[in-house]
Amino acid sequence: MSTLVEVTDLIKTYGEGEAETRVLKGLDMALQEGDLAALLGPSGSGKSTLLTILGTLMQPTSGRHVMLGEDLTRAKDTALTEFRNRHIGFVFQFHHLLPDFTALENVIFPTAIAEGRETAKARSRGEELLERVGLGHRMDFRATQLSGGQKQRVAIARALMNQPELVLADEPTGNLDRESAEQVMELIGEINAQEKTTFLISTHDEKIAAACRRQIKVVDGKTVSS
Ligand SMILES: Nc1ncnc2c1ncn2[C@@H]1O[C@H](COP(=O)(O)OP(=O)(O)OP(=O)(O)O)[C@@H](O)[C@H]1O
């Protein structure tokens, strides 16, 4: 296995002067290709901050961030956007689906917008992914007509649309009942095993963490175990 992403001596400070808060305090972490890792830590320890940096949505105050051999620490915004679109998928606690659009439209729209058009290839990839997440029979349902667990499965299909190497999930089961949470986690496990997609999943749920092969803990702005 080779290293997919590595951050070294990561520091992130919010605010200035008296309001300055240092959230990440020299954090080191690496994910190997094919990892299925849980990101744990008390509320406010910096898990979302770390995911946002790994997702290239925010630059660290200092430190190094390398993914797929590319040093992203000093990359320009346009290069980061392109990198993110090609290599990283996101799943959030709240699915962020467009309520009036169908499951299929929700899966293919981000790609269609990035490419400036909706291609037949994107459509068939979207259909294939919805089949993959067990929603082949719900493709034409609007987001509002789906259950919480189904919406989250659509969000996973959407995250996989561009065949990302890394999927970052911020409490993906935080808003689901136990059964739906376990189904979503089972699906993530299957995708990880079959397609070797690397997942990093922030969670407060010990059962979800136990379903991952690795547990990475953030305490006081540093990783303490992995
Ligand atoms: N934009 C911001 N400006 C100022 N402070 C922020 C900002 N974003 C986060 N923080 C602070 O940084 C700290 C870490 O927040 P973060 O959301 O990364 O923690 P977390 O581990 O994900 O927490 P939770 O488990 O509750 O989601 C918190 O103290 C928070 O108040």
Q: Which domains does the chain have, with CATH numbers?
A: 34-62+76-224 (3.40.50.300)
Pick the closest to residue 97 from 110, 111, 83 (CA basis).
Answer: 110
Residue 116 has pLDDT above 90, yes or no: no
Instruction: Compute the distance from residue 45 Cα to the ligand 1 centre, in Å.
Output: 7
Count of Cβ atoms closer than 10 Å to residue 215 Cβ = 15
At 30-61, the pLDDT tens digits run 999 999 999 999 999 999 999 999 999 999 99
Residue 115 has pLDDT above 80, yes or no: no
Residue 89 has pLDDT above 90, yes or no: yes
Residue by residue, DSSP assigns 20-76 as -EEEEEEEEEEEETT-EEEEE--TTSSHHHHHHHHTTSS--SEEEEEETTEE-TT--
Instruction: Compute the distance from residue 49 Cα to the ligand 1 centre, in Å.
Output: 6
Q: Whose CA is nearest to atom 17 of ligand 1?
A: 48
Residues with CB under 6 A from ligand 1: 14-15, 21, 23, 41, 43-49
At 159-213, the pLDDT tens digits run 999 899 999 999 998 888 898 899 889 999 999 999 899 999 999 999 999 999 9
Predicted pLDDT of residue 167: 97
Planar angle of CA 154, 58, 86, nearest 5 degrees = 50
- What is the spatial distance between Cα 126 and Cα 207, in angstroms, rounded to a whole number? 30
Identity of the residue numbered 212: C
This complex has an ipTM of: 0.95
Residue of 27, 39, 40, 48 to test ligand 1 pocket, by largest number of atoms within 8 Å of CB: 48
Predicted pLDDT of residue 226: 63
